[in-house]
Amino acid sequence: MNLFSIFIASLLVNNVILSKFLGMCPFLGVSTKLSSAVGMGVAVIFVILGASVVSWLLYYYALVPLGLEYMELICFILLIASFVQFVEMFVKKTSPALYKSLGIYLPLITTNCAVLFVAMDNITQKYNLIETAVNSVAVAGGFMLMLVIFATIRERLEGSDMPKAWKGNPIAFVVAAIMAIAFSAFAGLV
């Protein structure tokens, strides 16, 4: 599979939210405003890319040579948690402006299961380091794309006239379902 195919497949066809149903918490929780959705999306791209590359290096340069592949899950969880702590600390120290826009979303990303999924999927698919980086950016980009689309729809829904019982999460779930149906049209593209 070439890099372009991996990118399109992860971005649209096997979208992490609409086809894998991962990362639903931030998808519903941080999609009430477009500005929050963009901030969260950029932070997710940054963390997923970094965490996946570091996980890949740990797996192939420590776990495989020692025959400890079965420790993949526990190691990746600890590594991702450590990576997010490190990134938050680094951004706090070096770039207050970046911290103002992205830093606040970093604690939320620690609990995003999509991050762990990408790290483990890269190993399952036997991707090399470049393919890992491309796949990670594509998955995170797909996450951000859905988050931004969903946030724009929810912003418009805020002002719309609808029964009280439908307001908030009920209508959000209906919209998410319609989006999932629409994006299922990409199945078979790659």
Partner 1 sequence: MKILYAILIAGSLLALNIVLLIANRRTPVPEGCENLVPDCKGCAITSCAIRNSYTKGDTKND
Interface ranges with partner 1 (CB under 8 A) = 25-26, 28-33, 36, 62-63, 66-68, 71, 74-75, 78-79, 81-82, 85-86, 88-89, 92-93, 96, 99-100, 103-105, 107-108, 111, 154, 168-169, 172
User: Nearest Cα to 139, choosing from 31, 8, 21, 50?
Assistant: 8
Of residues 10 and 31, the one with the C-beta less far from partner 1: 31
CA dihedral over 136, 140, 146, 148, signed as positive or negative: negative
Judged by DSSP in three states, 161 sits in: coil
Of residues 142 and 154, the one with the C-beta less far from partner 1: 154
- The nearest distance, CB 4 to partner 1, in angstroms, is 34
Judged by DSSP in three states, 31 sits in: coil
- The nearest distance, CB 30 to partner 1, in angstroms, is 5
Of residues 104 and 179, the one with the C-beta less far from partner 1: 104
Residue with tokens 């990303």: 109
Amino acid at 109: I
